Amino acid sequence: MGRMGFSGVRREGFAAEVWGGVLMVVAVWVVFGSSVRFDFINYDDPVYVYQNEEVSKGVTAAGVRWAMTGVGETNLWHPVTWCSHMLDVEVFGLEHAGGHHAVSVFWHGVASVGLFLLLRRLTGSVWMAFFLALVWAVHPQRVQSVAWISERKDVLSGAFLFWSWWSWEKSRDGGKRVWYGFALLLFVFAGLSKPSVVPLPAVLLLREVLRGGVSVSWASVRRLVLPVLPFVLVSAAVAGLTVYFQRTGGMSDLGATMPLGRRVMLMPSSLWWYVQNTVWPVPGKFWVYPPAGTVSDLVVPVLGLVCVFGAVVLLVRRERLAWLGVGSVLLFWLPVSGVVPVSFYYVADRYSYLIQIGLLLVLAAVVSAAVRWLAREGDRKWIAATAVVLVMLASLVTWGRLGLWRDSEALFSHERSINPRSLLAPIQLGKVREGQGRVEEALALYQEAMGIDKESGLATTNAARMLEKLGRKDEAMVTYQAATRKRMLRSEAAFMHLARLRLERGDMDGAEAALVAGMERFPGRVSLMTHMGSLAMDRKNFALALEWYDKALAKEPHHADAMQGKAAVLLQAGRLDEAKRLLTELLKYHPERRAARAFLERLP
């Protein structure tokens, strides 16, 4: 059956591919290049980059080991992404975010060229492949993935995946076997960048079925399954590690935020959202709340999806590209469909980075059919004119939306204006006001967030911190206590703040009760263990303090507070040599601890 090319379309040569790739890179930089003047965003960028203890040190052997074996405060295992951020810090530092943004634009350019060459092989047409890849590259839904430094994982995994698939196509179209090796290696890197690429083996299998058909014979099974099997094994390994880290990482209780039954019920509306926003990507909300779950919330998406599928069957059922597109949409959507909880988000623009490829393949099938239906050359020119207009409109919308990402204040002020239900906007804008020293305004914004979601532990904790800064400590204590009871509480901070305030009032029993409650809510959190050790020190119970610090270090062997606390206990016990060795080790891993260094220098 051969390649999925368009009949009657000339197969242009290598020079056209080169020029297409060059123009693609130029288009990406024209649309997204201004982001090199942008700042970090105060949402996730601290966790991923400038407040991440390992990443902020740049490239170190310890950091690479951490990247391979941990997830930090996230719930995704993506060591290549972590190493990419470390390399950025090593090269550009943390004073300015411009270099970090430039690297994200670079990788998006690499992804766009890879997609262009892949589509060239799938469609057999340079101009069609260029149009589809360009629409994808400058689509407004790309802004989050490119302009948000924390989403480096999108552009990395997308680049590796597209080039992996292109290498696969080259190997299957009679190329040298080395291309198959490249395809597998690049897929490994894609999986190490973001686990959402795991459906690729199923997409490749579908591609092979559509390419050559299938029959009930060992030869057919061997032809289809065996080449895909190594990719399946890579996917299984990545998926297994992802599930493990989702259960043990910083967001291990994410699945409890929404029952499985409700997540399944929302799946049609999730898929329909991606279809809708590919066609009409405005107003571009950052935070999209799931629908309430009424009958219309379920029926409308289902009807919409049925209509789209019916149109595909009616108009382009003979086009293999259409079925590859439908399959790709469903397969790449599954990891973010909500069945497996991977974040607090019900849907998001950045999740469309791979999903949208399938929708564009369906569009390619429609355009292919239209080219054949329109016999006159003049009629076909209308298709080209429409394509140019679509690219220009998409670029303009993207360019305008990109400017909102210049800093946290611009981004979240806009989000607050277009999305009154956004919990994220007042919280992050409150952090901006807090950093500006406008504490009253920050408090008002955090209280606004509490009104949007009464179960938000983060909003309540932040409001309590502002009350404390304003000297309203009684109200702060009550609010901290309220935060500890919130269902949506991801951090142990409220328990530790409550313990500290009680300790300031001499209520050691109350402080201990708060920390114990925190341990019950967040078992295994090292920060709570170190606070328990500190409290035991205050009570002169050095044996108990040592026990808590040892527990903390058993979980995180180089935790700075735990190492310093244990050193203090050892000094109290007269174990001077052990304390000196521990402080020396502490400074090896945490040279920024100046107080520990000064103390060590004073020891005999």
- Domain ranges in the chain are 14-406, 423-510, 524-604
pLDDT at residue 7, rounded to an integer: 35
- Average pLDDT score over residue span 526-530: 96
pLDDT-derived band at 216, boundaries 50, 70, 90: low
Q: How large is the average pLDDT for residues 154-173?
A: 96
| Per-residue pLDDT at 132 | 95
Q: pLDDT at residue 369 above 80?
A: yes
| Residue 456 bridge partners (DSSP) | 488
- Angstrom distances, CA of residue 165 to CA of 114, 151, 153, 183: 9, 22, 18, 6
For residue 254, the model assigns a pLDDT of 52
Least confident segment among 71-80, 150-159, 360-369: 71-80
**Same CATH fold assignment for domains 423-510 and 524-604:** yes
Q: How many other C-beta atoms can be found within 10 angstroms of the C-beta atom of residue 101?
A: 26
CA nearest neighbour of 101 among 145, 139, 133: 145
Instruction: Check if the beta carbon of residue 4 is closer than 8 Å to that of residue 124.
Output: yes
Per the CB < 8 A criterion, the answer to whether 496 and 534 are in contact is: no
Residue 78 vs residues 344, 345, 373: alpha-carbon distances, Å: 18, 19, 47
What architecture does CATH give domain 423-510? Alpha Horseshoe (1.25)
Tokens at 10, concatenated = 């000339």
For residue 357, which amino acid is it?
A: I
Query: Could you tell me what percent of the chain has a pLDDT over 90?
Result: 74
**How do residues 275-308 score in pLDDT, each as one tens digit?**
999 999 988 899 888 887 788 888 999 999 999 9
Each residue of 277-298: b (16+ CB within 10 Å) or e? bbeebeebbbbbebbeeeeeeb
pLDDT band of 379, cuts 50, 70, 90? low
The rounded distance, in Å, linking the Cα atoms of 190 and 155 is 10
Is 0.85 surpassed by the pTM of this model? yes
Residue-wise pLDDT for 466-513, tens only, equals 999 999 999 999 999 999 999 989 899 999 999 999 999 999 999 999
Number of neighbouring beta carbons within 10 Å of residue 523: 8
Paired tokens of 140: 């407004």
Question: Which two structure tokens, joined as six digits, stand for 284?
Answer: 């571009």
**pLDDT, greater one: 253 or 585:** 585
Backbone angles phi, psi at 561, to 5 degrees: -65, -40
What the block records as the tokens of 327 is 């399959």
pLDDT of residue 248: 66
- pLDDT at position 595 is 86
What are the pLDDT digits (tens) for 304-331?
999 999 999 998 888 999 999 999 999 9
How deeply is 304 buried, as exposed, middle or buried, from its count of CB atoms within 10 A (0-12, 13-18, 19+)?
Answer: middle
CATH of 524-604, one of 1.10.10.10, 1.25.40.10, 3.40.50.300, 3.40.1390.30: 1.25.40.10
Q: In whole angstroms, how far apart are CA 26 and each of 314, 354, 398, 506?
A: 38, 22, 15, 65
Alpha-carbon distances, residue 456 vs 297, 460, 553 (angstroms): 24, 6, 31
SS (H, E, C) 505-553: CCCHHHHHHHHHHHHHHCCCCHHHHHHHHHHHHHCCCHHHHHHHHHHHH
